[in-house]
Amino acid sequence: MRILYYYLLLLSLPISAQIELKIDAISSKDSIPTERKFTIQYHIENLTDKEVVFSLYPTSFGSNRRASMFKGMVYKIFQDQEFLDLEDIFSNTKVNSYRQALLEAKTKEEKDVLVRKYLEEQKRINLDSKSIIDENELLLEKGKNFSKSIITLLPKEKRSYSKTLIWNKSRYYKLEDNEFYLDENKPHYFELTINLMKEYFKDYVEVNEYQEILNNPSYIKGWFTSNKVEIDFKD
């Protein structure tokens, strides 16, 4: 009976040794007095002797509050050992660059070009060639975008990534009834998590192909969490 108990216990444990998600380094630089840039260097490594496949946008970052169905990297911030359940505290570098370009634009025509370019990049659609996008076209674009998220790692393969995040040096945050303060006198830590789900493929493949994916052990699923690395929110 005891042997059976331990066997069932092992079956219930998550298979978390398939891949490693690790933060290699976090560096910071104050570009302007009110802004600090963090460069996050991290990698995903296949720890097995077999090929693994999953869907992930590895350079798309979001806070833990949107983790449930987010297909990118989910980050957590800790103050000492306390987890701070914050909304996004980092601004988007691409959005910032467009915002700065808009401020520097001298004419309405220049601003219109920038706005159009930004919308095209966000929607992955050429607005000049399509005045009206039908539903089939949108589904096609959505499928193309999803195909870019499929990552195949060969046995023992490691892929390294880098992401720049910008903090505007705000310390006080209020979210609903909760208040948070980034204490400049306490250490802070940064952690990454990814939620890999086979179910992501359901809307993009045929029914029989989706069933094959569900039954294929090469397509992995599960929560994977990185190490914690100190991040500099000090003055």
Task: For residue range 78-117, list pLDDT tens digits in order.
Answer: 999 999 988 778 976 555 555 556 667 778 887 777 777 7
> Phi, psi (5° rounding) for residue 123?
-95, -10
Burial of residue 82 (CB within 10 Å: 0-12, 13-18, 19+) is exposed
DSSP tag of 163: E
Helix, strand, or coil here: 208? helix
- Across residues 25-54, what is the average pLDDT? 96
Q: Locate 134 and state its tokens.
A: 């039908």
DSSP tag of 198: G
Half-sphere exposure of residue 201: CA atoms within 13 angstroms, side-chain side: 23
**SS3 of the chain: helix, strand, coil, percent, to 5:** 30, 40, 30
Q: Does the pLDDT of residue 5 top 60, yes or no?
A: no
User: Does the CA dihedral 210-216-218-219 come out positive or negative?
Assistant: positive
Q: What is the pTM of this model?
A: 0.76
What are the angstrom distances between the C-alpha of 80 and each of 162, 175, 186, 190, 204?
A: 25, 20, 6, 11, 42
Q: Locate 105 and state its tokens.
A: 């634009």
- Across residues 34-41, what is the average pLDDT? 96
Quote the pLDDT of residue 94.
58
Q: Locate 188 and state its tokens.
A: 């802070």
Residue for token pair 């995903």: 44
Residue for token pair 């490691």: 158
pLDDT averaged over every residue in the chain? 83
Share of the chain above pLDDT 70, in %: 78
